[in-house]
Structure 1
Amino acid sequence: MNDADDDRNDGRRRYLMYGSERYALAILRPLQAAIRARGGETAWFFDGPGAADLADDEPLLDVEGVRRWNPRAVITPGNHLPHFFPGVKVEVFHGFDAGKPRHIHVRGFFDLYCTTGPRDTAKFQALADELGHFSVAETGWPKLDPFAAQFGAVEPVREPPVILYHSTFSPSWSAAETLHDEVRRLSRDGRWKWIVTFHPKMNPGTVAKFRALENAHLRVADDDNILDLFGRVDMMCSDTSSALNEFLLTGKPVVTFRNRRPGPQLIDIDDPAQFEPAIACALSRPPELMREIRGYADAIHPYRDGRSSERVVDAVEAFIAAGGSNRCKKPINFWRKLRLRRRIGYWGPGG
């Protein structure tokens, strides 16, 4: 990208927001706001759900439209994007590392990874040093910018306490079916209130089973952005979902069932009979647990200023100013590129 490109774009810097799921909206809209605040332009491309939820001032482009629009950078929370789109290819992640190997699986599509905190930065920088075909900048996560106020002092436990139950969708990682009966039992006596949410890809049958539990003490929430719920609850119950790491940034406890990467920041159990006492322990907020939570939060996302989106834009501009390239070429990736063309239904020109 050079000055001539900006001249062709009427002097305004253009950035494409690329999504494959509806959750891309919550992640990329704060970034869009930061770009627009600097006088830049944004447009969107979706290869999956989400386009129907765009606002009137969020233009949606097709492939040819993207190529004509000529964005300065293409930014996505997913792990792929078309190699033939113009602009620097930037990954901002769709969640924190929850122990799922795909989180650090480098697929060769990106020029720049914008990491959330020291823990991920160290992992990706080691890979960048080894492979040479991408760069790394630690920026924080744009999705959290509107919620910066939630990551301060921890409020006292409500009366009655409110529990957020959230499960990932993968059958090998989800505890929803295993803990269903315990949630049903514990949500009947009114001692605790429950808000239940699921990953968008959760088995509809499982979701239906939990909807059948709804009563005065339990509701299933349909909020698109789970962060909207964090300020309304006192703790979370989960399994191996990246959302639990987002919740830990509030400083409040999480009970997990057979988490793939348990640690002292979690109360992890492996038997449904342990569920009730683990919740009681979490609501008592043991000082040692609370210290571990704070330390873990600082390692995965130390930023509390609500300016991660601005840092992403700064990182993209710094990368472009330095030449917009890395010391090695990206891998050929023939089969992945072919699958992506099939996914978006485009067989036209592009390297």
Structure 2
Amino acid sequence: MPDPEFYMMSKHYLLYGSERYALAILRPLQEAIWARGHKAAWFFDGPGAEELRSNETFLRTTREVREFAPIAVLTSSNAVPHFFPGVKVEVFHGFDAGKPRHIYIRGFFDLYCTTGARDTQAFTEKSHELGHFAVKETGWPKLDPFMREHGSPEPPPVRAQPVILYHSTFSPSWSAAPILYDNIRDMSRTGRWRWIVTLHPKSAPETVAKYKALENEYLRFATEDNILDLFPQVDMMISDTSSALNEFLLTYKPVVTFKNRRPGPQLIDIDSPDQLLPSIERALSRPPELMQAIREYADSIHPYRDGRSSERVLDAVDDFIAAGARNRKPKPGNWWRKIKIRKRLGYWGPA
């Protein structure tokens, strides 16, 4: 029987990041931790620490982390130092966009907090097969601020002068940025629509430079860290196989994709640049069958529109720990990956 006092005690949580995008994903969790009267601290194994605010706690060394003694390590990364104290919890860095290795298990995590029914089913099946991690559907913390403000069940009407968001992934094999460049350049100069362009942070510098050079009175190159900030400003999106397009579909607004790896009725997918113009026109007309497919898909990947996914993650962690913090089987050895993490962080002490 779980001890009721556990739920009342003061707790420490570590927020672990390996990329700058961890800030947008994990900060809502920090707010929920603070709201409960608990403590949160950050550790970065990569960029991001330089963007922390004065009221946020930054732990610079493994020793500081171990002294902080978190009950849980919450991360959007695919791996986590096994020698950090606490339950290891994966909250994901994006939705499944059809790229390889979304549903893969590296053996670092005790608990996966999934975003919606699609991922919950896939990870639960793996949990039953492997036995060394638990799964709890919570929703995605990154979306909490957005959903609290923009979680309306209906999209706003299209603007008199529609605004289009163009976003591309960075992988050369999936990115449409080089292919659609001429089309976007030409269409952005007509004034028929307004454009906001943003590229993945890992995009090739020459590609970023080309799109930045397109800026004019109708096109803005956006540098916002959190792409969610752009969603209320636009009426549709153009993309390829970026996980951000799934985030955008949660606004119930249309997306045109170029050679998406997993097209479906929720997308207007094209395979030739010549199809871009009519596809934009169709998206902005919002045909009922498309809008219904978008709604059904969005609700399957993230049905929560209450902005309380962070609270559900913390509840899931509490319940897992209170029930014994153990899974049916031990995690795999993972020796080679663990050695690489130890070497990177310069820690050779006990786990």
Instruction: Please give the TM-score of this superposition, normalised by the length of structure 1.
Output: 0.96
Instruction: Please give the TM-score of this superposition, normalised by the length of structure 2.
Output: 0.96
Describe the SS at the equivalent of 1:75.
Answer: strand
Q: Distance in 2 between matches of 1:187 and 1:263?
A: 28
Matched, 1:161 2:162: yes
Q: Distance in 1 between matches of 2:126 and 2:18?
A: 25
Q: 1:56-95: CA deviations, max 9, x gaps?
A: 1111112110011110000000101100000000000000
Shift of 1:151: 3.0
Amino acid at match of 1:278: S
Task: Please give the residue correspondences for 1:1-351 in structure 2 after superposition, counting only pairs within 5 Å.
Answer: 12-61=10-59, 62-148=61-147, 149-152=149-152, 153-344=154-345, 346-351=346-351
Aligned residues of 1:139 and 1:311 also touching (Cα < 8 A):
yes
Describe the SS at the equivalent of 2:220.
Answer: strand
Aligned residues of 1:19 and 1:46 also touching (Cα < 8 A):
yes
Describe the SS at the equivalent of 1:103.
Answer: coil
> Any gaps of 5 or more consecutive residues in structure 1?
none
Q: Distance in 1 between matches of 2:344 and 2:141?
A: 27
Shift of 1:343: 2.8
Aligned residues of 2:342 and 2:348 also touching (Cα < 8 A):
no
Shift of 1:200: 1.1
Q: Distance in 1 between matches of 2:327 and 2:229?
A: 38
Shift of 1:101: 1.9
Aligned residues of 1:97 and 1:103 also touching (Cα < 8 A):
yes
Describe the SS at the equivalent of 2:101.
Answer: helix
Q: Distance in 2 between matches of 1:224 and 1:147?
A: 14
Q: How many residues align?
A: 344
Q: 1:302-325: CA deviations, max 9, x gaps?
A: 001000000000000000001001
Describe the SS at the equivalent of 2:102.
Answer: helix
Q: Distance in 1 between matches of 2:263 and 2:95?
A: 14
Aligned-residue CA RMSD in angstroms?
1.3
Describe the SS at the equivalent of 1:181.
Answer: helix
Q: Distance in 2 between matches of 1:66 and 1:233?
A: 41
Aligned residues of 1:151 and 1:251 also touching (Cα < 8 A):
no
> Any gaps of 5 or more consecutive residues in structure 2?
none
Taking only the aligned residue pairs, the percentage that are identical comes to: 68
Describe the SS at the equivalent of 2:196.
Answer: strand
Describe the SS at the equivalent of 2:253.
Answer: coil
Amino acid at match of 2:40: T
Q: Distance in 1 between matches of 2:268 and 2:344?
A: 40
Describe the SS at the equivalent of 1:104.
Answer: coil
